[in-house]
Amino acid sequence: MKRFNRRDFGVDFGLALAAAILLPATTVRADDTAVHIDNFVFQPAELKIKVGTTVTWTNRDDIPHTIVSAGKFRSKTLDTDDKFSFTFTNAGDYKYFCSLHPHMTGMIKVE
């Protein structure tokens, strides 16, 4: 039975094993959060997040919507499956609404 060594493959297996252990296979940002617009409601309606978190809203309705926080951010009109993202760089409470349907409201609390 032939024994293989690293010269047979041109790879230092110790280095490859260390890289596999230390480097994740996929990169997932822990500071990203999703809000869905469905049936004229922001879901979840309220979020508590940390400074630096990016929130992405996705319109799942068949009707256009917007996301507006007065003086903070404003999306373009979002058609079905369109997305809008905003990164919260300051702590505070961010009330938002849909300018096309003002009864639709939400809140982001940034710590």
Both structure tokens of 70: 């007065």
DSSP three-state, residue 76: coil
Query: What domains appear along the chain, each with residue ranges and CATH number?
Result: 32-110 (2.60.40.420)
Q: Are 67 and 57 in contact (CB under 8 A)?
A: yes
Across the chain, which has 111 residues, the per-10-residue mean pLDDT values are 53 47 43 94 97 98 97 98 98 98 98 96
pLDDT at position 2 is 54
DSSP three-state, residue 5: coil
CB neighbours of residue 86 within 10 Å = 19
End-to-end CA distance of the chain, in Å? Answer: 62
- Residue among 27, 16, 19, 37 nearest 97 (CA): 37
Whole-number Å distance between alpha carbons of 104 and 37:
9
pTM: 0.73
